[in-house]
Amino acid sequence: MDNALLISFKKDIENIKEYIEHISLIDAVAIKNKKPEQEELKNLVKHLHTFKTDKKLFEYKAITVSLYGILEKYIGTWIREYIDTLSDLIVKYDDLPLKLRESHFKLSINLISKIIEKKFAKYEHLDKNDVLLKLGSCIRESSKFELNEDAFSPMSGNLKHGKITEAFEKLCIELNGKLLQNKSFLEYLETKHGSDIANKKPTVLYNVIDDLVSRRNDIAHGARIDDTILDFDEHIEFLEYYCEAIFKVLEQETMKYKSEHLYTKIENILNVFKDSKTEINSILHIEVKNCKIKVGDCIMIKNLNSFTEKEISEIRRDKIKYEELEIKEKTNITVNINFSTTKNKTFYIKK
């Protein structure tokens, strides 16, 4: 997963915060300057007083639709990015989970139908023949395949948590369980709902997302809007934690596939100790064979259900430093990694 996409999400959220702050500052000017002397300020105050109710309604709609747009945009973008990454990581189509392959076939057929109907603007850039060719590559040539990433992107307009969960099921990801494995998000939920999170229903835990979607739908369908209070702090805060946790779920799932297809498990970890020079980095004393390893490669570390990749900064064999080693027989080497870890983890080296 491209971390730039997470940075982009955070930037869009910050823009919404800045817009709300901008509104507050303008309103404060009008309240404090009931009899301004400057002509420009006088006109602003007069305008704000005459436009007061409509202004609040417009701002409420703008912020609600913008927040929902961020949710929909990034959930779709990250799912497409994830599917696209799988095509690069996995050599054979048959190595994908069966459920994901079945979903890909059904969703690709459904996508072709939507393109033909020409009712959905989000699919206007797609060509049905391209979708069919990608699907055919999966069926005919298992070792050279492309996935239809757009087929997995959930339909727009009503993206409540339940719909997002359904979209992730098609990726073979049980989202509710995975979200609660994210420490930061779990701690945040506990501040809202108490410590017994595992026994809370998703409709309770994610009601803020569902409320945002309902508000957006009311606006889109022209429903009467009575509550136009511009207090979006809870929605924005929840959206930040929620979407970042979803990004991390996809990132960890990507790492899991990497560990299976790009890495091989190091079976014999002789020792792991701190680098005395840094007190932060770790030195792994390992036994390896049939591998090629060089400085700048990564070691993957698995701790429970969490994966991380850390760069190798130094390699030694028999106390001699090497930039690169090609090893065929069982050999003991030490590698320095830019990370503090312990022996009770699972370690992987690139194939």
User: Distance between CA atoms of 83 and 103, rounded to whole angstroms?
Assistant: 12
Q: Is the pLDDT of residue 43 over 70?
A: no
pLDDT given at position 46: 64
CATH class name, domain 264-350:
mainly beta
The pLDDT confidence band at residue 209, using thresholds 50, 70 and 90, is: very high
Q: What are the φ and ψ backbone dihedral angles of 288, each rounded to 5 degrees?
A: -135, 165
pLDDT given at position 47: 62
Q: Is the pLDDT of residue 91 over 90?
A: no
The pLDDT confidence band at residue 60, using thresholds 50, 70 and 90, is: confident
Among 336, 249, 244, 247, which Cα is nearest to 295's?
336
pLDDT given at position 75: 95
User: Distance between CA atoms of 332 and 155, rounded to whole angstroms?
Assistant: 53
User: Distance between CA atoms of 145 and 159, rounded to whole angstroms?
Assistant: 30
Q: Is the pLDDT of residue 339 over 90?
A: no
Q: Where are the domains of the chain?
A: 3-261, 264-350
Q: 60-74, 149-163, 221-235 — which is least confidently predicted? A: 221-235
pLDDT given at position 118: 82
* Averaged pLDDT of the chain: 87
The pLDDT confidence band at residue 107, using thresholds 50, 70 and 90, is: very high
The pLDDT confidence band at residue 84, using thresholds 50, 70 and 90, is: very high
Contacts of 203 (CB under 8 A, 6+ apart): 161, 162, 210
The pLDDT confidence band at residue 336, using thresholds 50, 70 and 90, is: very high
The pLDDT confidence band at residue 227, using thresholds 50, 70 and 90, is: low
The pLDDT confidence band at residue 38, using thresholds 50, 70 and 90, is: low
Q: What is the pLDDT of residues 158-200, one digit of tens each?
A: 899 999 999 999 999 999 999 999 999 999 999 999 888 988 9
What is the average pLDDT across 313-333?
90
Contacts of 8 (CB under 8 A, 6+ apart): 74
